[in-house]
């Protein structure tokens, strides 16, 4: 394989500005500053919107929270598809 083909992975902490929640992962991104978390050095990348703060990710309850069993959802979508409203 070719050497230096892929960028190096860095330990990164994505920080949500709204909630302050930190997502620790590895990425090829680099932050402007570093922070030591649990004894490991992480590049800090500031994010305006993440899954922790965006309404599209948290405003809709999941199926188990909604109380609809899977068979009821299947029956609901089958009824819609039979009527020709759902392709």
Q: Per residue in 29-50, pLDDT tens?
A: 988 899 999 999 999 999 888 8
Its pTM stands at: 0.58
Can you say whether the dihedral through the CA atoms of 47, 52, 57, 58 is positive or negative?
negative
Return the H-helix or E-strand segment holding 43.
strand 40-47
Q: Regarding beta strands 33-37 and 10-16, do their DSSP bridges make them parallel or antiparallel, or are they unpaired?
A: unpaired
Are the beta carbons of 24 and 11 closer than 8 angstroms? yes
Q: Per residue in 1-25, pLDDT tens?
A: 677 788 889 999 999 888 888 989 9
């Amino acid at each position: 394989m070719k050497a230096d083909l892929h960028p190096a992975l860095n330990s990164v902490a994505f920080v949500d500005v709204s909630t302050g929640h930190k997502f620790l992962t590895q990425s090829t991104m680099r932050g402007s500053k570093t922070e030591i978390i649990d004894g490991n050095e992480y590049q800090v990348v500031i994010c305006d919107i993440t899954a922790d703060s965006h309404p599209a990710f948290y405003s809709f309850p999941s199926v188990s929270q909604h109380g609809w069993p899977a068979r009821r959802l299947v029956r609901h979508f089958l009824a819609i598809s039979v009527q020709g409203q759902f392709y």
